[in-house]
């Protein structure tokens, strides 16, 4: 439903190109052996918002790039960006032992961790193959840098599981690497494919970076505030997996000494009970941890919006502004 | 010990460049956070033969490439090839649940599967970063194609575990993808970096492909013939992991109906006892499965050698011939 809403509304201006991206995403599934085809198709098709492809296409258009058949390069790059994203989700689900993804059983749950690791490797390698076909080496470098940032962030996240001493700087490095880096790469690549200057491309990259940080912060807030039937995973999942996110950092800062001790006890618990999670949610409510997170979101999204000032007025530029609003207002 | 022997003897002609490769391989470890640095260092440093870097460097020299300081590009590419190899080993060990690698505890055993998956992702992404820096896009495409072939082969291998009905064609596709593709990419890239024609580069690629198939076939033979203290893993490991390799395909073809049934019973067994493995080794001995495998090895190595005829006589070309001999004669 989200996918439909965003594609018919928010991304309407690049709807034709997004349809072509869907075609590209069917290719790796069609050309391979049965199992890899099935898993790749499942991982690429399970209700994603296609945010990264859409941002790449909108960035290209906003920088004067062509549309429709003239957008062949952007379409292929947009598809590669989504493959990299799907590859990272496949590996994430292995690391998180996640049973569900977007309300469906995860590939991990359906085919096991071995197949998920390999399907992730495959989609990542296929993305690189598509990126290599592009003539602009700066674009490939952009995505390669994002891939390195993503794995570094995942490792840092792994190292800081159940660690209430994580600094805000470390938390933001994790958020930036695991989510914002690829979104930023998509925006920069869109600008580059449209022939924008390096300076404009850098501003689009910053737009994507701040938008991506905001996007992940909203995710982290929704983990404590959303309804399970909307986000497709149980509320409090992050905490259960040991991920100390911004709402908890807020609690740590503002709670009384007694509540901080309670928080520390809960944080080291690797298998919190429903009662433990209720205690946590009560603390989150009492100290306004979700709205504190959304305040930080607003700061990042304002910064993202400011970067768009470099662009001339256009429908694509307006669409990018609306994506910022969408990130702020999304509830799943 | 193997590493020492090969580097002082077989690869002596590119010893300076290989030393520079070792420097490059220390870089990803040095520049990152503590855990990733440690695991990357461990995965890159644990007694590998540096076969892929050496073949890339020797191929470059044999095609008229420069040496020493003039070989900066080859050195960086050789290092990237080894990173890709190490990345694939990290993921292999996760898939195989391997406790050891080259006689040492595997990264999997030391740091767990989550860290191994991420360290593999990291080394692969770092390799791509280094490959992107090269000016010749054909080289990056070569390695990207190899990466796709590697994951496809691993998936096929996974699908055919414990499956005695695997065809010889499927087995050879697995061998080609999981081992020969990257060795072939290294040889082709060496030729390209030295400015060889596409035709010569294609012959070097075929040299690497046949050499790589031979190399893997020897591996599969050694699993039934070598002493545990030499290969650094228990004899019969492949069978225990459900991998039906060439010695078993030979048995299937030549054994009596009674022995074939015995083989089928053993193959589906996910946890064979020492007695089961002894029965298997007796069958392997009785039907000469190891020497049948080595006969196929000889065919592939002859083909590899024939491809070298395209090269002018040179010390580097002689060294490539000696690598062929080394693969044939290695006992660990």
pLDDT tens figures, A124-150: 999 999 999 998 999 999 999 999 999
Residues of A in contact with B154 (CB under 8 A): 118, 121
Residue pLDDT, tens place only, A233-261: 666 888 888 999 999 999 999 999 999 99
Assign A74 to helix, strand or coil: helix
Chain A residues inside the 8 Å CB shell of B124 = 121, 124
User: Within an 8 Å CB–CB cutoff, is residue B141 touching chain A?
Assistant: yes
* pLDDT at residue A34, as a whole number: 77
- pLDDT at res. A233: 62
Domain count, chain A: 1
Instruction: Give the confidence band of A304 by pLDDT, cuts at 50, 70, 90.
Output: very high
Burial (CB count <10 Å: 0-12, 13-18, 19+), residue B275:
exposed
Tokens of A205: 């990259």
Q: What is the mean pLDDT of residues A177-202?
A: 97
ipTM metric = 0.89
Q: How far is Cα A93 from Cα A156, in angstroms, rounded to an integer?
A: 16
In this prediction, residue B68 carries a pLDDT of 75
Confidence tier at A1 by pLDDT (50, 70, 90): very low
CA dist list (Å): B273 to A159, B154, B161: 38, 26, 18
Whose CA is closest to A122, among A84, A77, A178? A84
The ranges of chain B with pLDDT < 70 are 1-8, 28-33, 46-47, 227-235, 332
Rounded average pLDDT over A97-117: 87
**Alpha-carbon distance values, B279 to A216, B142, B262 (Å):** 57, 43, 9
Q: What is the pLDDT of residues A47-66, one digit of tens each?
A: 678 999 999 999 999 999 98
Q: Which of B40, B93, B94, B117 to mutate to test the interface with A (most CBs of A within 10 A)?
A: B117
Q: B137-159 and B72-96 are packed helices; what angle lies between their axes, rounded to 10 degrees? A: 10
Phi-psi region of A271 (alpha: psi -120 to 50; beta: other; left: phi over 0): beta
Residue pLDDT, tens place only, B149-206: 999 999 999 999 999 999 999 999 999 999 999 999 999 999 999 999 999 999 999 9
Separation CA B56–CA A165 (nearest Å): 46
Q: Where are the beta strands (DSSP E) in chain B?
A: 100-101, 104-105
Residue pointed to by tokens 């006689």: B103
Q: Out of B95, B113, B141, whose CB is closest to A132?
A: B141
Cβ-contact B29, B83 below 8 angstroms? no
Containing structural domain, residue A57: 2-329
Rounded CA gap, B152 and B128, in Å? 19
User: Does A132 contact B137 at a Cβ distance shorter than 8 Å?
Assistant: yes
Of residues B35, B129, B132, nearest to A159 (C-beta): B35
- Taking the CB of residue B118, how many other CB atoms lie within 10 A of it? 27
Distance between CA atoms of residues A220 and A215, nearest Å? 9
- Asked whether B80 and B131 are in contact (CB, 8 A), the reply is yes
The answer, for B241 touching chain A at a CB cutoff of 8 Å, is no
Residue of A nearest to B133 (CA): A141
- Which of A91, A129, A148 has the CB atom closest to B117's CB atom? A91
CB pairs under 8 A between A and B: 116
* 8 Å CB contact between B213 and B172: yes
Burial B81-105 (b: 16+ CB within 10 A, else e): bbbbbbbbbbbbbbbbebebbbeee
Residues in Cβ contact with A295 at an 8 Å cutoff, skipping those fewer than 6 apart: none
Q: Report yes or no: A268 at the B interface, CB cutoff 8 Å.
A: no
Q: CATH number, domain at B174?
A: 1.10.600.10
- Which of A110-114, A222-226, B48-52, B58-62 tops mean pLDDT? B58-62
Region A257-271 average pLDDT: 89
Cβ-proximal residues to B130 (8 Å cutoff; 6+ apart), any chain: B24, B76, B77, B79, B80, B83
Contact with chain B for residue A137, Cβ under 8 A? yes
Q: Check residue A2 and give its pLDDT.
A: 45
Q: Which residues of B touch A94 (CB under 8 A)?
A: 113-114, 117
Q: Which residues contact B329 (CB under 8 A, 6 or more apart)?
A: none
CB contact under 8 A, A148 and B132: no
Nearest CA in chain B to A87: B121
Q: Could you tell me the pLDDT band of residue A68, with boundaries at 50, 70 and 90?
A: confident
Distance (Å) from the alpha carbon of A236 to chain B's nearest alpha carbon? 22
Q: Would you call A286 an interface residue with chain B, using a CB distance cutoff of 8 Å?
A: no
Q: What are A148-180's pLDDT values in tens digits?
A: 999 999 999 999 999 999 999 999 999 999 999
């Amino acid at each position: 439903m989200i996918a439909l809403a965003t594609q018919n509304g928010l991304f309407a201006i690049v709807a034709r190109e997004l349809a072509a991206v869907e075609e590209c995403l069917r290719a790796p599934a069609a050309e391979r052996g049965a199992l890899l085809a099935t898993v790749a198709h499942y991982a690429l098709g399970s209700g994603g918002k296609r945010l990264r492809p859409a941002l790449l296409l909108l960035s290209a258009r906003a920088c004067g790039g062509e549309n429709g058949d003239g957008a062949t390069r952007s379409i292929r790059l947009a598809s590669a960006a989504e493959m990299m994203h799907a590859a990272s989700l496949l590996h994430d689900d292995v690391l998180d032992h996640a049973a569900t993804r977007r309300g469906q059983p995860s590939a991990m749950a359906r085919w096991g961790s071995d197949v998920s690791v390999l399907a992730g490797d495959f989609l990542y390698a296929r993305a690189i193959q598509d990126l290599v076909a592009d003539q602009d080496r700066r674009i490939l470098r952009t995505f390669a840098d994002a891939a390195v940032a993503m794995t570094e962030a995942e490792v840092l996240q792994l190292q800081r599981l159940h660690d209430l001493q994580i600094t805000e700087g470390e938390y933001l490095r994790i958020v930036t690497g695991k989510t914002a880096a690829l979104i930023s790469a998509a925006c920069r690549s869109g600008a580059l494919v449209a022939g924008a200057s390096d300076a404009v491309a850098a501003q689009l990259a910053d737009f994507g970076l701040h938008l991506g940080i905001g996007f992940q912060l909203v995710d982290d807030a929704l983990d404590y505030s959303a309804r399970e039937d909307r986000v497709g995973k149980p509320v409090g999942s992050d905490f259960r997996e040991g991920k100390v996110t911004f709402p908890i950092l807020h609690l740590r800062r503002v709670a009384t000494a007694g509540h901080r001790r309670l928080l520390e006890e809960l944080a080291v618990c690797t298998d919190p009970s429903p009662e433990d999670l209720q205690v946590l949610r009560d603390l989150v409510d009492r100290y306004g941890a979700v709205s504190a997170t959304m305040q930080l979101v607003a700061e990042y999204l304002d910064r993202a919006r400011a970067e768009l000032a470099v662009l001339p007025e256009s429908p694509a530029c307006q669409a990018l502004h609306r994506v910022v609003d969408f990130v702020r207002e999304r509830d799943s």
